[in-house]
A = this chain, B = another copy of it.
Amino acid sequence: MNAPETLRRLAEERPLVHHLTNYVTVNLVANVTLCTGALPVMAHAVEEVEEMAAVASALVINMGTLDPEWIEAMIRAGKEANRRNIPVIFDPVGAGATNFRTTMPEKLLSEIDFAAIVGNAGEIATLAGMQAEVRGVESIGGDAKAAAVKAARSLGATVAATGPTDYVSDGDKLLAIENGHPLMGRIVGSGCASTAAIGCFAAVGGANVETVAGALAYFGRAGEIAAEKSDGPGTFEPRFLDALAALAAEPDPLEGKLKIREEEVG
């Protein structure tokens, strides 16, 4: 589904998007979810994650500030979503940075069937078993395009490797998205927020390559609009939320502004 159509569906349906995410960027993630038209909920207690996941239209699992107690909640929620064919989106924040952040994604990938996996080039390369340098939760270099295709094939999911150019692939098809602005990399949580936007799009449109690319193009376009009115990363963040909300309320201006092109999978 293309981005304007997905946003119209979000406005009509107001689907619930359940996030199991980190405490660093959770507020931004929740606000981005609300700006797209979806309703965010952040329940994590093992006593309720399955019940909450069961009534959601998408589940987003983000391992930014992972600890062992959360793993169980993530697996329970993920399995329940799988049982009900609710799309589960995974953001392997910092994969490769420590041994814990390398083995935990493997565990989650073995237990949960993810519809889409979203990370920076280093994180996606780590998941694909490629060489990568991850400093903390930042990717230092890395071939996003090759990583997206390889990870999609080995993991059997739609994979988005984000960066100056975002790449989305399901292993057979590859889309490159050029929307965005450097200020997006200057605020904490833009990666988590882009995964949240993909979760919202998946809630009404599923997690195929086109819908995921549409989410990233919409997200990047909002960044372009916000950057024009910003004096730095601090004023960028509120302007970015304004732009996400404005485009969601009135998606027509997106037409002709989305820079998505197909590339050879190689």
Contact = CB atoms under 8 A, between A and B. Distances in A.
Question: For the complex formed by this chain, how many copies does it contain in all?
Answer: 3
Given A68-B45, A234-B241, A34 B136 contact: no
Interface stretch (A22-30, A118-126, A161-169): A22-30
Interface centre among A35, A55, A234 (most CB of B within 10 A): A234
A30 B239 CA distance: 19
B136 A47 contact: no
A27 B30 contact: no
A56 interface: yes
Interface stretch (A36-44, A107-115, A204-212, A257-265): A36-44
Contact of A48 (B18, B100, B237, B246): B100
Contact of A234 (B26, B52, B66, B239): B239
A113 to B, nearest CB: 23
15 contacts: A16-B136, A23-B26, A31-B234, A35-B233, A35-B234, A39-B137, A43-B97, A48-B98, A51-B100, A52-B136, A55-B136, A186-B245, A234-B237, A234-B238, A235-B241
